[in-house]
Amino acid sequence: MAVTDHVDLNGFMEGVKKRNPHQPEFVQAVQEVAEDIFEFIEDKEEYHSAQILRRIAEPDRVVSFRVCWEDDNGNIRVQRGWRVQNNNAIGPYKGGIRFHPSVTESVLKFLAFEQTFKNALTGLPMGGGKGGSNFNPKGKSVREIMRFCQSFMTELYRHIGADVDVPAGDIGVGGREIGYMFGQYKRITNHFTGVLTGKGLEWGGSLIRTEATGYGAVYFLENMLATKGDTLEGKTAVISGSGNVATHAAEKIVQLGGKVLTLSDSGGFIHDPDGIDQEKIDWVKTHKTHRRGRIEEYVDAFPGATFHAGKTPWGVPCDVALPCATQNELLGEDAKTLVANGCRAVSEGANMPTDLDGVHTFKHHKILYAPGKASNAGGVAVSGLEMSQNSARRSWSEEELQQMLKDIMAGIHQRCLTYGDQGGGYIDYVKGANIAGFKKVADAMLAFGVV
């Protein structure tokens, strides 16, 4: 078949929309990737005729299951659970588990699709997957969380394994939840294996896994600024979120001489013109992780800061911005505001936090803009290192792992340059990440034939 006979981008996206009705997040993620891949494969018949993108955009499987649990008042509660195994061409499925009321099959399919490219970019042998539930951990007792995690794993365990699919944490799933799920997996199977990452240090976890996503996003930002001969020293940063990724991104910005002005949660954002220093970051970590409090209480602890209910922080003038909360939290108008206020670089800690309008705005203004699949890959990279340590039954030191994380982020940056350098000093990191990730997975798929 001649190249000209192939379906074009519009035709491809029509098909994706038709096959995935009511799945806007998934369609959005595919669209963002397809825009670059169609240009790349235009003259590459082998990728066309093997229908590679069509196959990556169709998960290997989506497992959906019921999760029943009993609350503290003896009521039976019923939730939905999923595991999306998107693609294992280059390694076992790998990707987090999210517990949040907004979780749907569409959200998990978009995350598993993105994860496939992200994991390829790390240079480590990991395929793409994602899972989760519409369970809302907010307001639940510790025992309720434990019962839910156990019930979730009682169904999930049969679909995962150290060489099959290795889940990790994500929104609503931190060290505590991983502990309950790992305990239940071990109880059911009697196997102590590296079936989950993000584990506690006493039972197979890796140093710096907790910090890796936020730190990695800042290392990536440093790499981007370095292409302009610039550093983070003295830069003002606006960050959204106040969970694992946001607080560790803030910590690394402060360590590198920057000033963090904002953090947020689903209730709104706090603006601290004096800067959110290490002491304040430690307060936020304890407040969110242990007290399970709200970010608005920050202003009681640190007078001088203001709370802006129901708002996102993108209107606060800054040099660099790091969206670290959730998908579609930075829209086209926000992107315009950031650019108008002089923001020079955006490094995404969250997955797909910028909508398509926002992405196009950043590209149009040619600012340094890193999509999450490149800039937040530090977390899954250290998860990959946790898998290696588990397989070898050994642990690396913090210094070794810090260096490996830095090197991996520099390697991802380099891979983005290979396909994203547009000349004239402009690097299209979205294009670079999409093509580099695609090529690695696509070449493995070609080697396997039609499977």
Catalytic residues: 130
Binding residues among 209-228 for ligand NDP as defined by CB under 6 A? 213
Which C-beta is closer to ligand NDP: that of 130 or that of 147?
A: 130
CA distance 321 to 369: 10
**Nearest-approach distance from CB 172 to ligand NDP, in angstroms:** 5
CA distance 258 to 256: 6
Binding residues among 309-328 for ligand NDP as defined by CB under 6 A? 324-326
**Nearest-approach distance from CB 111 to ligand NDP, in angstroms:** 7
Q: Does 350 bind ligand NDP (CB under 6 A)?
A: yes
Q: What 3-state DSSP class applies to 110?
A: helix
Among 245, 374, 430, 442, binds ligand NDP (CB under 6 A): 245
CA distance 363 to 265: 27
- Extended beta strands in 252-385, E state: 259-265, 268-271, 306-309, 320-322, 345-347, 368-370
| Contact yes or no for 214/324 (Cβ under 8 A) | yes
Q: Does 351 bind ligand NDP (CB under 6 A)?
A: yes
**Nearest-approach distance from CB 424 to ligand NDP, in angstroms:** 31
Of the ranges 47-55, 74-82, 183-191, 240-248, which one interacts with ligand NDP (CB under 6 A)? Answer: 240-248
Q: Does 206 bind ligand NDP (CB under 6 A)?
A: no
Q: What 3-state DSSP class applies to 146?
A: helix
Report CA torsion sign: 278, 279, 283, 284: negative
**Nearest-approach distance from CB 212 to ligand NDP, in angstroms:** 7
Q: Does 172 bind ligand NDP (CB under 6 A)?
A: yes
Q: Does 236 bind ligand NDP (CB under 6 A)?
A: no
Which C-beta is closer to ligand NDP: that of 139 or that of 423?
A: 139
The phi and psi torsions of 28 (rounded to 5 degrees) equal: -60, -45
Is 87 annotated for ligand binding? no
Among 92, 131, 194, 349, binds ligand NDP (CB under 6 A): 349
Q: In what order do the strands lie in the sheet with 268-271?
A: 306-309, 268-271, 259-265, 236-239, 320-322, 345-347, 368-370
| Contact yes or no for 116/56 (Cβ under 8 A) | yes
Show the DSSP H helices in 311-428 as ranges. 332-340, 356-364, 372-375, 378-392, 398-420
Query: What are the Cα distances from residue 43, in Å, to 2, 14, 36?
Result: 10, 22, 13
**Nearest-approach distance from CB 359 to ligand NDP, in angstroms:** 16
Q: Does 375 bind ligand NDP (CB under 6 A)?
A: no
Instruction: Build a one-symbol-per-residue string for 152-171: x at contacts with ligand NDP by CB under 6 A, - elsewhere.
Output: -----------------xxx
Among 376, 389, 390, 434, binds ligand NDP (CB under 6 A): 376
Task: Give the residue among 236, 240, 430 at the shortest CA–CA distance from 323.
Answer: 240
Which C-beta is closer to ligand NDP: that of 172 or that of 258?
A: 172
- Total residues contacting ligand NDP by CB under 6 A comes to 24
Residue type (1 letter), 442:
A
Tokens standing for 55?
Answer: 């196959």
Among 134, 136, 227, 266, binds ligand NDP (CB under 6 A): 266
Q: Does 379 bind ligand NDP (CB under 6 A)?
A: yes
Q: Does 348 bind ligand NDP (CB under 6 A)?
A: no
**Residues whose CB is less than 8 angstroms from the CB of residue 276 and which lie 6 or more positions away in sequence, other chains included:** 250, 254, 260, 261, 262, 263, 284
**Nearest-approach distance from CB 1 to ligand NDP, in angstroms:** 39
**Residues whose CB is less than 8 angstroms from the CB of residue 345 and which lie 6 or more positions away in sequence, other chains included:** 221, 224, 225, 319, 320, 321, 367, 368, 369, 370
Tokens standing for 149?
Answer: 């995690």
**Nearest-approach distance from CB 449 to ligand NDP, in angstroms:** 32
Instruction: Build a one-symbol-per-residue string for 275-314: x at contacts with ligand NDP by CB under 6 A, - elsewhere.
Output: ----------------------------------------
Q: Does 128 bind ligand NDP (CB under 6 A)?
A: no
Task: Give the residue among 125, 173, 129 at the shortest CA–CA distance from 153.
Answer: 173
CA distance 125 to 110: 21
**Nearest-approach distance from CB 28 to ligand NDP, in angstroms:** 14
Query: What are the Cα distances from residue 121, in Å, to 42, 336, 361?
Result: 22, 29, 24
Q: Which residue in the block uniquely carries the two structure tokens 């926002």?
A: 358
Of the ranges 26-34, 67-75, 181-189, 239-247, which one interacts with ligand NDP (CB under 6 A)? Answer: 239-247
Which C-beta is closer to ligand NDP: that of 383 or that of 390?
A: 383
- Residues lying near ligand NDP in the complex (CB under 6 A): 102, 169-172, 213, 241-246, 265-267, 324-326, 329, 349-351, 376, 379
Binding site residue list for NAD(+): 213, 244
State the binding site for substrate. Answer: 94, 115, 118, 169, 383
Annotated binding site, which residues? 94, 115, 118, 169, 213, 244, 383
